[in-house]
Structure formats: C-alpha cells, structure tokens
Amino acid sequence: MSTIKQFQVTFDCAEPVNLAAFWCEVLGYVMPPVPEGFATWEECFRSLPPEDTVYFPCSDPAGVAPRLLFQRVPEGKVVKNRVHLDVRAGVGLVGDERLA
C-alpha cells in the first residue's frame, strides 16, 4: 500500500472567505488567483449571490504544508471542535519573552 503524501484540512464554517483570509494572514498562506475579469476577490464575490460562495481554499505558497479548505455549512456550531490548528508562535522563547 502506498502512503499518501499530500492532503488538505477541511473546515465547516459560516463564512469561508473571511476564515480563509484570516488563516492566510496567520500562516503566510495565499488565496487562489482572482478569476479573470475581476480586480479583487471582493469584486468577484459582490457579483455573486452569497449562497454561491460555498467554499474557499488557501494554500502554502511553497507547496509544502497542507492546503486548507473552508466550506460553508447551514448549521451552526453545536459542540466543541474536534480538529483545530495550533500555531506555535513562540517557539524557543520562555517566560515574559514568550508571552510578548
């Protein structure tokens, strides 16, 4: 049996684009190219009914880390998330230095 080397992490959410933009900022990821005919993603989304924005990806520009996919679901969050991303921002720092 071969081992799978690439995968994506998929999140159910209410606002796929906003969540993707947040994680792009945190992780240094990038959004896909804006579709032809539009200057920005915001312009593109304004041209669509809100229900048409059902998922949105973002990815590591180096292509090393997994792609993230945020998909809109109709139901709200009911219980604790079973999967989440932990960002290790203070690696190697201790005490007050780490808290800063």
Q: Which of 20, 7, 34, 10 lies closest to 83, judged by CA?
A: 10
CA pair distance 47, 87, nearest whole angstrom: 34
CA pair distance 85, 71, nearest whole angstrom: 16
User: Chain-wide mean pLDDT for the chain?
Assistant: 85
pLDDT at 75: 82
Confidence of residue 67 (pLDDT cuts 50, 70, 90): very high
What percent of the chain clears pLDDT 70, i.e. is strictly above it? 96
Strands (E), 1-100: 8-13, 55-58, 67-72
pLDDT at 93: 77
Confidence of residue 2 (pLDDT cuts 50, 70, 90): confident
